[in-house]
């Protein structure tokens, strides 16, 4: 009972912050921007959030406000992503891929409006349940996290890299290289003892490479190169949207699907490193096998639209659990959110819950409110966002580039960071061409410093005995999970092949 009482008193603290007119306004702006970002092809949640961080930072918002704004953008982008998946057959990001499988065929059958409303409701159910799950689980996990010493943290970081590399990519070696690139970049600059490393005596590198520069380059600038390569081909509107009505019958039909997919997605989202892609994938695949051959998954059935959207949004909420309690992101976008926390000087982890309850609970309350705002924006007002899709790529992508430049430039005012950002853009382009995932690079840059510090602290505690890293049950468990997470997908890949995108 105590536990529930705690949650209620914390929630009322949260709502007292979230319902202040200013915070509420930020949440609504965030939802609106997020839905647009998600809906625009070529601007997924990760790069959308990435280009907004430097700007939010220069605006000088306080920690809670900035966090509320950006997580509303994050949730909004998760909702909005389905719009381009369904109408254009272009997933805004990896997790939205599953929504194209049934969403696009359904839209081609002339049921675009139904698919949009249905997926909007599924997003709402998934995100709402996940936010409630976050509210219940995060404080519990924060208590467990107190038991984590340096050895456990080191193993946990390793687990994040392994599951991310193992499950979210097609080739383990490439994922490992990506992680090493990120970790290697994190080593540049002055180490924890104050001596410079890998700087090549370049003054600009003494402070290390700002992760925001890397994130914006790898995500946003690389995307611009991809659009130039494709000559904006993907920007034409695929399917016309007729009058939008609410398909009550379909919504009623998929109620259990949404519930199951939300639970599956939430659990997948909690896994450090695995995140949202796995959530929508597992939700879709499990519903597909429950429905069997007669279910007609892949041909445009309502269940096939509802399952991945509920799973995707539930995973987005689930991914916040390890991010807030342990400081380990569960997906590409939460990695970007972690970057936001670090920019705001908030250290995620168990102490966040006791030291700065107003940040955590203000955030959770805002997310609950954001869900209702998003349902409103994404069901009755969906036609407005569909019109935004018609912004052609030749306006959109130059715009994204300029916003990226202004953001990074206003952070440091140095041309060196801008050059570095363009360099990361080229790197991101080459890596993605070679099917090397870029999210582990980001994760490496973000976690590299901490990971090394934990290793060094652990070795100080044990006086240099490496067995200390496996000395507690939690640490051993995490090591086993890490190895399994990395190795198991090699064998499962034959069995669980990812469904590929429809091509017309």
Partner 1 sequence: MSDRLFGLVVLMVALAFIASATQVQTSFLSDPVGPKTFPILIGAVAAISAAVMIFKPDPDPQWPAGRTFFALLVALIVLVGYAFALKPFGFILPTAVTAAVLSYQISPRIGPALLTGVGLSVGLFVLFKYALKLGLVPFPKGLFG
Nearest distance from residue 228's CB to partner 1, in Å? 5
User: Between the CA atoms of 462, 467, 468 and 470, what dihedral angle is there, to the nearest 10 degrees?
Assistant: 180
What's phi and psi for 206, nearest 5 deg? -60, -40
End-to-end CA distance of the chain: 56
Nearest distance from residue 308's CB to partner 1, in Å? 27
Nearest distance from residue 481's CB to partner 1, in Å? 18
For partner 1, which is the closer residue by CB, 110 or 230? 230
Nearest distance from residue 419's CB to partner 1, in Å? 5
Nearest distance from residue 495's CB to partner 1, in Å? 20
> Which residues of the shown chain bind partner 1 in the complex (CB under 8 A)?
55, 58-59, 170-171, 173-174, 176-177, 179-181, 183-184, 187, 191, 193-195, 197-198, 221, 224-225, 227-229, 231-232, 392-395, 397-399, 401-403, 405-406, 409-410, 413, 415, 418-419, 421-422, 425-426, 430, 433-436, 451-452, 455-456, 459-460, 463-464
Crossing angle of the two packed helices 473-492 and 150-167, in degrees rounded to 10: 10
Nearest distance from residue 3's CB to partner 1, in Å? 39
For partner 1, which is the closer residue by CB, 201 or 345? 201
Query: Angle 317-501-386 (CA atoms, 0-180°, nearest 5)?
Result: 65
For partner 1, which is the closer residue by CB, 172 or 472? 172
For partner 1, which is the closer residue by CB, 29 or 141? 29
For partner 1, which is the closer residue by CB, 286 or 401? 401
Query: With helix as H, strand as E and coil as C, how does 455-504 read?
Result: HHHHHHHHCCCHHHHHCCHHHHHHHHHHHHHHHHHHHHCCCCCCCCCCCC
For partner 1, which is the closer residue by CB, 413 or 473? 413
Nearest distance from residue 171's CB to partner 1, in Å? 6
Select from 125, 376, 375, 128 the least CA-distant residue to 256. Answer: 125
Burial 221-235 (b: 16+ CB within 10 A, else e): bbbbbebeeeebebb
For partner 1, which is the closer residue by CB, 88 or 117? 88
What's phi and psi for 189, nearest 5 deg? 110, -165
Cα separations in angstroms, 308 against 133, 259, 297: 18, 11, 12
Select from 345, 340, 307, 337 the least CA-distant residue to 319. Answer: 337
């Amino acid at each position: 009972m105590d536990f529930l009482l705690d949650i209620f008193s914390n929630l009322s603290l949260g709502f007292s912050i979230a319902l202040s007119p200013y915070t509420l306004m930020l949440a609504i702006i965030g939802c609106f921007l997020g839905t647009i970002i998600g809906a625009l092809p070529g601007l997924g949640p990760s790069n959308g959030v990435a280009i907004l961080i430097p700007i939010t930072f220069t605006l000088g918002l306080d920690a809670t406000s900035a966090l509320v704004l950006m997580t509303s953008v994050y949730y909004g982008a998760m909702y909005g992503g389905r719009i381009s998946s369904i109408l254009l057959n272009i997933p805004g990001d990896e997790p939205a891929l599953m929504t194209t499988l049934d969403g696009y065929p359904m839209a081609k059958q002339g049921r675009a409006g139904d698919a949009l409303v249905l997926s909007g409701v599924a997003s709402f159910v998934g995100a709402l349940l996940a936010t409630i799950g976050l509210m219940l689980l995060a404080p519990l996990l924060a208590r467990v996290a107190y038991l984590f010493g340096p050895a456990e943290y080191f193993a946990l970081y390793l687990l994040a890299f392994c599951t991310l590399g193992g499950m979210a990519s097609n080739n383990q070696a490439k994922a490992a290289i990506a992680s090493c690139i990120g970790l290697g970049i994190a080593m540049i600059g002055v180490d924890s003892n104050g001596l410079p490393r890998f700087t090549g005596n370049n003054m600009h590198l003494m402070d290390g490479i700002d992760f925001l520069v890397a994130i914006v380059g790898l995500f946003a600038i690389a995307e611009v190169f991809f659009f130039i390569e494709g000559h904006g081909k993907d920007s034409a509107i695929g399917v016309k949207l007729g009058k939008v009505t609410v398909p009550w019958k379909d919504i009623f039909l998929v109620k259990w699907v949404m519930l199951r997919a939300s639970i599956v997605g939430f659990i997948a989202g909690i896994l450090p490193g695995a995140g949202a892609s796995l959530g929508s994938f597992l939700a879709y695949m499990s519903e597909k096998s429950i429905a069997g051959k007669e279910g007609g998954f892949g041909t445009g059935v309502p269940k096939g639209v509802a399952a991945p959207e509920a799973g995707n949004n539930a995973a987005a909420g689930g991914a916040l659990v390890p991010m807030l309690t342990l400081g380990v992101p569960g997906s590409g976008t939460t990695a970007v959110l972690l970057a936001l926390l670090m920019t705001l000087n908030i250290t995620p982890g168990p102490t966040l819950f006791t030291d700065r309850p107003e940040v955590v609970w203000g955030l959770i309350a805002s997310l609950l409110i954001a869900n209702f705002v998003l349902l409103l924006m994404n069901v009755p007002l969906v036609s407005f966002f569909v019109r935004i899709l018609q912004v052609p790529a030749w306006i959109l992508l130059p715009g994204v580039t300029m916003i990226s430049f202004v953001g990074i430039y206003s952070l440091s005012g140095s041309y060196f960071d801008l050059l570095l950002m363009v360099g990361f853009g080229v790197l991101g382009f080459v890596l993605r061409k070679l099917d090397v995932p870029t999210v582990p690079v980001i994760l490496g840059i973000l976690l590299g410093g901490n990971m090394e510090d934990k290793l060094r602290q652990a070795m100080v505690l044990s006086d240099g005995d490496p067995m200390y890293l496996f000395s507690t049950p939690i640490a051993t468990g995490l090591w086993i999970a890490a190895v399994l997470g990395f190795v198991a997908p090699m064998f499962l890949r034959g069995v669980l092949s990812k469904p590929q995108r429809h091509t017309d």
